[in-house]
Amino acid sequence: MAKIFAIANCRVSSDEQMLNGSLNRQEKSVERAAKELGVEIIRTWSGSVSSKKGSNVNRKDLAEMIDLCKKDKRIKYLIIDELDRFMRSILELGYFWTTFRGLGVKVVFASQPDLSDDTAADTLLMMLKAYEAEGSNEKRQRSSIDGQTGAGEGGRYTYCPKPGYMKGTTPGIHLIHPDRGPALQKVLIRVAAGLVSPTNALIELNKSLFTKNHALYKMDKFRKIATNPYYAGVVCINKQVKVYNEHGLHEAIITLKQHHRIVEIFDNKPKYQTGPKRAGNPMFPLSNFLEDDQCLELKDKGRLVGVPLTNGKSPKIYKKYRCRSCKYSWNLDVMHDMIDSFFSKYEMSDSTQQSILSALDTVWQKDSENKIQNMTSVRRSIVELKNIIRQQVESAADPSNSLIKNQLIEIIEENKVKIIKLESELERLTNDEENDKREFMSFALSFIQKTSQHFLEPYVSRDNRLRCKLMLFPGGIRIKDKEKVYTPELSIFYRGEARKKDTEVSEDSHLVRMRRLKLLASSLARKRSIN
């Protein structure tokens, strides 16, 4: 009998976890699981790697695992201690879970064996755990944002030092770099004084010590540096953290007046490099999502981008998708109809829908347990507040407390208001559960039955559209012979079946039925909004 091999992954997300012996505990856990499975672990990835949402696509350990599993078909298991050591994102968990399953490798969680079964209900419970991990991640993220906001408001800049600065002994208070700082300062002062134009200032900067051991700067990057208020002593952060503090604790290299003058000068200089739209172009939702299969080996690999074209004779704009390699173009409406037809080839059978509804009901019942606990907690709070009010009334009636009687009465009224709010919350939790469940189920099914409609809607963000493509079509979406949309690989989560037999579809895609993850992601998103 051929020997069965396994690989393992143990990871921590902080040095503190490393020092606390988390890796040793995980390694023992996966070794115990391998012994129970009767398999041999041939390689273990161990170290500090982030599994948070959005960081998994480029994880080196995952890429190496997938590559090894492709080369060695004897590997049948990937053993991990707990789910959040693997992923903290629903969609990324689904993508990588299906990727390993497509290679014949089963993902097993040593400390959570109930998440490793193949039933629909257990798969949904696994996704629920990922949903909880994602929520925990967001909570930590909010804490980090609060901390960075506080630091910024106190004058500290907690990100990487700006060009011309370097880290100091105090976190968040950067020092002027001995070479790059003075070189940049000289150029900025000359620009502010009108002694040199931005173009010539960039030439001077590139010839100075500022670019020693660094690549030469172009105008778009120089513009961002020159107009950044940080160099005038301002801590300005406009990301998830929002801070504007003109009293930064770092040493400024120009005055605030000089900064405003530089901004004014650059505003009068045309900007020719607009760059791509990071959030995507809502006018062309499929831009950079499709490939022309006849141009995959050429430059730009046949990527389709949205372009507004005119015939040069009238102001009318024609919306087209154009291949960046061969310049062949498709009318926008025609392309969207092709995508709609592509999605509509697949639908869930009645039996599959019923199975998923049963699994969803299991998940809902588990969520209802949490709701019952919340109701119990609210009732307990109401009883405790009533007892407190009773004691406060007795204290207010006591002549010895006459000096604080008015304060006691105010506190009693405040507690009465709290009770009214808690009773209202209890009523909502008690009465709305059945309606919430009906709406939850209805939304989940309607979303999966209108996948293409949601995929093309402009309100869907580019990131969510990309996640949907990775989840449903890991092989990408392509154009065949300039006239047909297909995918070379469908995710193995698919549980839909082609509405009619289609030889070309069978050749172009490895249909292995996937809708479950799509339904899960939609339903969990809906449940989040309900709660």
Q: Summarize pLDDT for 144-157 with one digit per residue, the tens.
A: 667 778 888 888 99
Judge whether residue 75 has pLDDT over 60.
yes
Q: Name the residue with higher pLDDT: 464 or 235.
A: 235
Write out the E strands in 139-234: 165-166, 175-176
Please, which pLDDT band fits residue 337 given cuts at 50, 70 and 90?
confident
Judge whether residue 475 has pLDDT over 50.
yes
Please, which pLDDT band fits residue 119 given cuts at 50, 70 and 90?
low
| Cα–Cα nearest to 491, from 20, 94, 86, 47 | 94
- For residue 31, give every residue at least 6 positions away whose Cβ sits within 8 Å of its Cβ, in sequence order, or none: 8, 41
| Cα–Cα nearest to 22, from 84, 88, 113, 97 | 84
Q: What is the reported pTM?
A: 0.37
Q: What gap in Å lies between CA 460 and CA 507, rounded to an integer?
A: 31
Please, which pLDDT band fits residue 17 given cuts at 50, 70 and 90?
low
Average pLDDT score over residue span 493-511:
42
Q: Name the residue with higher pLDDT: 453 or 477.
A: 477
Helix (H/G/I), strand (E/B), else coil: 12 = strand
Average pLDDT score over residue span 257-261:
92
Are 51 and 84 within 8 A, CB to CB? Answer: yes
Kindly state the helix (H) or strand (E) to which residue 161 belongs, with its residue range. none
Cα dihedral value 271, 277, 281, 284, nearest 10: 90
Judge whether residue 176 has pLDDT over 90.
yes
Please, which pLDDT band fits residue 287 given cuts at 50, 70 and 90?
confident
- Mean pLDDT lowest among 5-14, 181-190, 267-276, 480-489: 267-276
Percent of the chain clearing pLDDT 90 (strictly above)? 16
Tokens found for residue 2: 């051929």
Judge whether residue 225 has pLDDT over 80.
yes
Amino acid 260: pLDDT = 92
Q: Name the residue with higher pLDDT: 11 or 136.
A: 11
CA geometry: angle at 307 spanning 305 and 313, to 5°? Answer: 155
